[in-house]
C-alpha cells in the first residue's frame, strides 16, 4: 500500500467511527435512526 491508500483508508475509518458515535449518542438520547424523537411523533421506529 502506498501513502495515498493509507490516507484514504484512515479517512474512511474515521468517518465510520464518527457515524457510529453519533448513532450511539442519539440512541442514548432516545432518538431513532431516522433522527426524530419517536416519543412525540408516534412512528415507533425505536424498535427497528
pLDDT digits (tens, 9 = 90+) for 1-48: 899 999 999 999 999 999 999 888 877 877 766 656 556 665 555 554
Give 36's DSSP letter: S
**Residue 48, pLDDT score:** 47
Q: Which residues contact 20 (CB under 8 A, 6 or more apart)?
A: none
**Number of other CB atoms surrounding residue 30 within 10 Å:** 11
**Residue 1, pLDDT score:** 82
**Residue 13, pLDDT score:** 98
Phi, psi of 37 (to 5 degrees): -95, 100
**Number of other CB atoms surrounding residue 32 within 10 Å:** 19
Model pTM?
0.62
Cell of 36: 426524530
Amino acid at each position: 500500500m502506498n501513502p495515498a491508500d493509507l490516507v484514504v483508508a484512515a479517512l474512511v475509518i474515521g468517518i465510520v467511527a464518527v457515524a457510529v458515535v453519533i448513532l450511539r449518542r442519539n440512541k442514548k438520547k432516545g432518538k431513532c435512526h431516522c433522527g426524530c424523537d419517536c416519543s412525540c411523533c408516534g412512528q415507533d421506529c425505536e424498535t427497528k
